[in-house]
Structure formats: structure tokens, C-alpha cells
Amino acid sequence: MSKSLQPETLCIQAGYTPKNGEPRQIPIIQSTTFRYESAAEMAKLFDLEASGYFYTRLQNPTCDAVAAKLAALEGGTMAMLTSSGQAATFFSVFNITSCGDHFISSSAIYGGSFNLFSVTMKRMGIECTFVDPDCSEEELEAAFRPNTKCVFGETIANPALRVLDIEKFAKAAHRHGVPLIVDNTFATPINCRPIEWGADIVTHSTSKYIDGHAAALGGAIIDSGNFDWAKYPDKFPGLCTPDDSYHGVIYTERFGKEGAFITKATAQLMRDFGCMQSPQNAFITNLGIESLPVRMARHCENAQRIAEFLEAQEKISWVSYSGLKNDKYYELAQKYLPKGSCGVISFGVKGGRAAAAAFMEALQLAAIETHVADARTCCLHPAGTTHRQMNDQELLAAGVSADLIRLSCGLENADDLIADLQQALNKL
């Protein structure tokens, strides 16, 4: 498919082209396994000498079609789906780190990613240094160590809504010969394509806007194909030296820089951890992608109107939305997110924790939910729920104050949503 096609077209057409008489929509290949006529053919698949399907834990045609569409949308060379965004985050880092290694992450990231990096991966002997995304180049520079293997950040941090200066992070990573991994969940490839700004690997929780209907959990990893692993064989032995579990295949030699990362993550991590996405979920995810550009525009339009409404309210102490002219991230958003950021706003209600709870309970259209970024408007108090494992200092670094309410603006009529917020404010 032509590289010059616009995202709206790729969302519909990329990844799957039926041949004469074949189904127009991506078929759900609901099969764990695939039949072969000779044992020798199957053996070649096992040795990665031929490509083909043999077991859905490793690869499935439905999932591959959706992954190929996401690769086209992000401008990458190869992609894979995972069972969840958490699995995508974990695989993206663990694919190039081992016990004794170190990596750097923006401190303003999703709570689940923070926990994964600061607690669970630490138990595996992989250490993470968190840096403020707004840090100076010198501060970022100081976080690198000889054993640093990658840098991680989020385009728009959930829930802090801080916009990552992707170029600053990419340049620092590349100066040290390591890749930048960017979680692009909130922006989606419609509003930002991190690879164009220097990111090497992009991850997603497709459970959010990409599915968009709160129907299917999923994740994705997309490789830009730009990072030259073979230039740093000592740093990335897993990609540049023989893999004993595949008869000595060297991923960079066999699959090049365009395919080494995803092939290794599929062949080793998916084989051993099994966090694959079900073909059913991939099908639902794809339905979401088809309407993604239309929905993102509406999410952003509603969020902009609601942010402006909230900003003008006496009972609201602060509003954070990068579409507001006086927002701290307005300039960065103009650069990286010129079409709009996302539908998520955060704000504080005067009166702190208690007022926040009372306000949320008074809302009738916006439901209290853990989820964000789907068709239905919902809200959450992160300090009391998703981020409750963090102490006050960690909350501050993640950009989550105790009074923060996260409002995910859905696709309803904006006037109805504003009327709902107004009646809840009147009750305070």
C-alpha cells in the first residue's frame, strides 16, 4: 500500500486486501492451530526459516492484519498485537533488557506502567530511573548509565496530561545509542505519530481510543525500523548474538533492523509469556480503527468546549488541557498535536478530596469508571483509585494532585455534557 496515503484512508484500507471472492471485512480466524502437509514444512516454521502460521499464541492472521494496519498508521515497518497495553509496555522494554540492565522513564506515565517499572521489573533486576518530562537536557543526560538500554515516555501522560517533548527525549536516547519507546495511547496515530519526531518504538493500549467503545482489551507494539541495533552489539546481545532457543538465529542478521525487534518479541516473549490478543478482540479493535479519525476529532472538540466551560467556573480551582491557551503544555501541543490532543481533561474542585467525591457522585451522564477514552463520558479520582499505591511525593512527580479529577469526554452532545457538569457544580 502506498506510503503517501492519509491516515483516514489507512484506517479503512491498510493491513488487509482481500483477493477475488474473499471476505471484504477481516475474517476472524478463530483457530488455535493450522494444518500442514509435511513435517518438514512445519519444522521450517519452528526454526524461523519460513514464515507462516502454526499456533495462535505466536501468530494469527486476524491479529497480523490489524497489526499491519497499525504499523502503516504509525509509519513503522512491523507491529504486533498483545493482550493488553500492559503486556505491550512490558514486552517493549523487556525485549531489550535483562537482569542487571537499566532504563530511563518519564515520571509522568500511566499508573500501571509506573508500577511495572518501579516494582515488578525491579524484582527482575532491571532498574528504572524516573525523570521529570520537563527536565533540562542536562538533567536528562545525568540519568544515563553505561548499562542504560532504552528511554520510555508517554506522548500525553495519563492522567497528568503532560505532553512529552519527544524530540528532546529522542535526541538524548540516540546520543547514548539507545532507542526511545513512546506510549502513544492517548494521542493515537491520528493526532501524533511519534516516529516522525524520532521515536524508535511505539506502544499502545488499544483498549482506549483505538477500540473506542470499551469493548476489547488489547495492546500493540510498532517498530519504526529505524534503530540500528547491530551498531551496538554489546548493548543489545539478544538481538545481535545467536538465540540458542532458535538454533542460533541472529535476529538483526536474519530480519534486518526493520524486523528484528518485533520478530524477537514474537518468537521469544510471546512464546514464553503468551500475552497474545484473541482474534475476536483484534476484530473488534479493527472496527474501532475504521472510525478512529472521525471519533478523535469529536472527542477533541467536546473536550475543548468542556475545558473552556470548566475554566470559567468559580468552583473549579484549576483545569489542565493542552488545548487551553494558558495551559503549561499549549506550546508543546501546538508542535506535536496540532490536530488536537485527546478527550481527557483533568481539573480540581475547590474543597479538595471531599468536594471531588461529592461532585463526581452528582454527575448523571458521566459515570465513575476506571476506564478512559471511549465513547461514553466518564470520570475518575486517580489519587483514590488508579494511583493509590503512590505516596504523595510520587503522586507529585506523576503530576497527580490529591484533588485531581480526570474527565474523559465521550462522543455525546457537548451541550448535554456541559449541562450535567453545571447541575453537579450547582449542588456543591
Ligand X SMILES: *Cc1c(COP(=O)(O)O)cnc(C)c1O
Interacting residues toward ligand X by CB under 6 A: 84-86, 89, 110, 112-113, 154, 158, 183, 185-186, 205, 207-208, 217, 219
Of 343, 379, 347, 373, nearest in space to 361 by CA: 379
For ligand X, the closer CB: 117 or 236: 117
Is the Cβ of residue 7 or residue 382 nearer to ligand X in the bound state? 382
User: In terms of DSSP H, where are the helices of 205-270?
Assistant: 237-240, 251-264
Residue type, 127: E
> Nearest approach, Cβ of 32 to ligand X (angstroms)?
23
Q: Side-chain half-sphere of 161: how many Cα atoms within 13 Å?
A: 30
Nearer to ligand X, 60 or 113 (CB): 113
CB of 244 to ligand X, least distance (A): 31
| Least Cβ distance, residue 325 to ligand X (angstroms) | 25
Contacts (Cβ under 8 Å, ≥6 apart) of 265:
80, 91, 92, 95, 221
In whole angstroms, give the CA distance from residue 148 to residue 145.
Answer: 5
Closest-by-Cβ residue to ligand X is 85
Query: Residue ranges of the alpha helices (H) in 202-250?
Result: 237-240
For ligand X, the closer of residues 184 and 266 by Cβ is 184
Nearer to ligand X, 185 or 302 (CB): 185
3-state secondary structure at position 44: helix
Closest contact distance (angstroms) between CB of 328 and ligand X is 19
In the bound state with ligand X, the residue whose beta carbon lies nearer, of 60 and 185, is 185
What nine digits make up the cell of 130?
Answer: 524516573
Nearest residue (CB) to ligand X, 311 versus 369? 369
Q: Which is nearer to ligand X, 263 or 408 (CB)?
A: 408
Burial of residue 63 (CB within 10 Å: 0-12, 13-18, 19+) is buried
Q: How far is the CB of 203 from ligand X (least distance, A)?
A: 7
Q: From the CB of 153, what's the least distance to ligand X, in Å?
A: 11
Q: Could you give the strand order of the β-sheet that contains 344-349, starting from the edge strand earlier in sequence?
A: 316-320, 344-349, 404-408, 378-380, 367-368
Instruction: Give me the least distance between CB of 169 and ligand X, in Å please.
Output: 16
Which has the closest alpha carbon to 412: 363, 348, 370, 350? 363
- Count of CB atoms within 10 A of residue 325's CB? 7
Q: How far is the CB of 15 from ligand X (least distance, A)?
A: 20
Q: Which of 275, 212, 225 is nearest to 84 (CA)?
A: 275
- Residue 202 pairs in a beta bridge with 182, 222
